[in-house]
A = this chain, B = another copy of it.
Amino acid sequence: MTKLKWGMIGGGEGSQIGPAHRLGSGLDGLFEFTAGALDHRAAEGIEYGQRLGLGNRAYGSWQDMLAGESAREDRIDLVTVATPNSTHFEITKAFLEAGFHVLCEKPMTMTVAEGEEIVRVAEKSGKICAVNYGYTGYSLVRHMKAMIARGDIGKVRLVNAEFAHGHHADAADADNPRVRWRYDPAQAGVSAQFADCGIHAMHMASFVTGQEVTKLSADTVSCLEMRVLEDDAMVNFRMDGGTVGRLWTSSIAIGRQHGLGIQVFGETGGLRWSQEQPNQLYYMPLGGRLQVIERGEANLSPEADRTTRVTIGHAEGMPLAFANIYKDLAEAISARKEGREMDPAANLYPRAEDGLRSMAAVVAVAESGKQDGAWLDARPPMFQ
């Protein structure tokens, strides 16, 4: 069991995302933190990387790291891109072209065209390009997907997802730079709350139903006057399997702590899950009674079993969900190295196509919001 070699770009000292990725990648002992270009300031990045034990594989820039790692026999197996959003495209593309597997933070790109470019590059390179929609790593979200796939609730009629918090509700704090940039088109692009949070709920809707969003209509509002981009949005959508979708996202919902949740209703049953109680999945068969499916139960799906680490009744949380994305990637990479089929229950990590579709949805939401909720195609051109 030699560990896979893992590198990270970004995630420098004091960031939240860096420790999260180190925790997630290291948690199962499948990856070893081997290389990094952790800061855009070369000296700081090298110094911090060395403190974290990277030795001479602590680089001063992603370009140096690309060159250095490309030149080695024992090059890293996977690189995580956790830099500012506007640089994701360039770095991801470069590493894919150089033959590295990549896990890119969301958003994968700033435009749909760039997203299509990444999809093409990834395909051409034959390398894995994963995107970090980490909430789908929860064991019971995966079980939900498995139940739907095997027909437990019949044809899916409707999905209702939400991601609503109140952490940007304070007008007195709205000019705080840490908050303000998110609502500034120059820095954040065409969308704020939907792009930041709502898209996780939309990806989860696709993930659990196995369907893609085809068109949508959005009502976007800025509840705080000084904001250009939306802090609250309601999105109605349709999916390619005929499912109707509803999605609410908000950053001004005071009293909601996180607010990621999803309900799915089919012809013969309904399912409900929320991140505030991630170890329980509520299921009602048509004509039956509400049941509480508990993480770690006997006889769940293989997808649930491989993503659960402690026995039933002990809570599991987000860091383990996140680690499941890395666990999937470790299996995908190892299977390739060993020339074998990968475990299908691991083949669930989000990929470039998801990053692209998300970008197209963000653009459609922003545009529909401007056009009084006009129904627009939510698909990227290459998938229309």
A276 within 8 A of B: yes
**Chain A residues touching B, range:** 35 or more
**B315 lies within 8 A of A318 (CB):** yes
Taken together as a complex, chains A and B put the C-alpha atoms of A286 and B319 apart, in Å, by: 28
* Interface 0/1 of A263-281, CB less than 8 Å to B: 1011101111001111100
Which A residues between 146 and 196 are near B, CB-CB below 8 angstroms? Answer: 153, 157-158, 160, 164-167, 169-171
- Pick from B33, B255, B282: contact of A270, CB below 8 A: B255
- Interface stretch, picked from A101-109, A204-212, A289-297, A351-359, is A289-297
A29 within 8 A of B: yes
Q: Give chain B residues whose Cβ lies under 8 Å from the Cβ of A309.
A: 19-20, 23, 319
A72 within 8 A of B: no
Q: Give chain B residues whose Cβ lies under 8 Å from the Cβ of A374.
A: 372
**B286 lies within 8 A of A294 (CB):** no
From known contacts A232-B158, A373-B375, infer whether A254 and B284 are also in contact, taking CB-CB under 8 Å: yes
Taken together as a complex, chains A and B put the C-alpha atoms of A244 and B277 apart, in Å, by: 29
Taken together as a complex, chains A and B put the C-alpha atoms of A2 and B55 apart, in Å, by: 11
- Pick from B3, B234, B315: contact of A234, CB below 8 A: B234
- Pick from B234, B269, B291, B318: contact of A314, CB below 8 A: B318
Number of copies: 4
From known contacts A234-B236, A372-B375, infer whether A253 and B257 are also in contact, taking CB-CB under 8 Å: no
**A291 lies within 8 A of B289 (CB):** yes
**B319 lies within 8 A of A310 (CB):** yes
- Interface stretch, picked from A57-65, A84-92, A215-223, is A215-223
Taken together as a complex, chains A and B put the C-alpha atoms of A317 and B323 apart, in Å, by: 13
Least Cβ distance of A225 to chain B in Å?
10
Taken together as a complex, chains A and B put the C-alpha atoms of A365 and B230 apart, in Å, by: 24
From known contacts A1-B51, A287-B170, A320-B319, infer whether A312 and B269 are also in contact, taking CB-CB under 8 Å: no
A39 within 8 A of B: no
**A282 lies within 8 A of B294 (CB):** no
Taken together as a complex, chains A and B put the C-alpha atoms of A170 and B258 apart, in Å, by: 33
A256 within 8 A of B: yes
* Interface 0/1 of A6-49, CB less than 8 Å to B: 00000000001001101100111100010000000000000000
Q: Give chain B residues whose Cβ lies under 8 Å from the Cβ of A164.
A: 160
Least Cβ distance of A282 to chain B in Å?
6
A252 within 8 A of B: yes
Of the listed residues A19, A20, A258, the one surrounded by the most CB atoms of chain B closer than 10 A to its CB is A258
Q: Give chain B residues whose Cβ lies under 8 Å from the Cβ of A381.
A: none
Closest to A235 in B: B234
* Interface 0/1 of A359-378, CB less than 8 Å to B: 00000000000001111000
From known contacts A157-B223, A244-B232, infer whether A289 and B279 are also in contact, taking CB-CB under 8 Å: no
A283 within 8 A of B: yes
A246 within 8 A of B: yes
**A290 lies within 8 A of B291 (CB):** yes
Name 7 interchain pairs, CB-CB below 8 A, sorted by A.
A158-B223, A158-B232, A160-B253, A250-B265, A277-B277, A289-B291, A315-B316
Binding site for B on A (CB under 8 A): 1-3, 16, 19-20, 22-23, 26-29, 33, 51-53, 153, 157-158, 160, 164-167, 169-171, 217, 219, 221, 223, 232, 234, 236, 244, 246, 248, 250, 252-259, 263, 265-267, 269-272, 275-279, 282-287, 289-294, 297, 309-320, 372-375
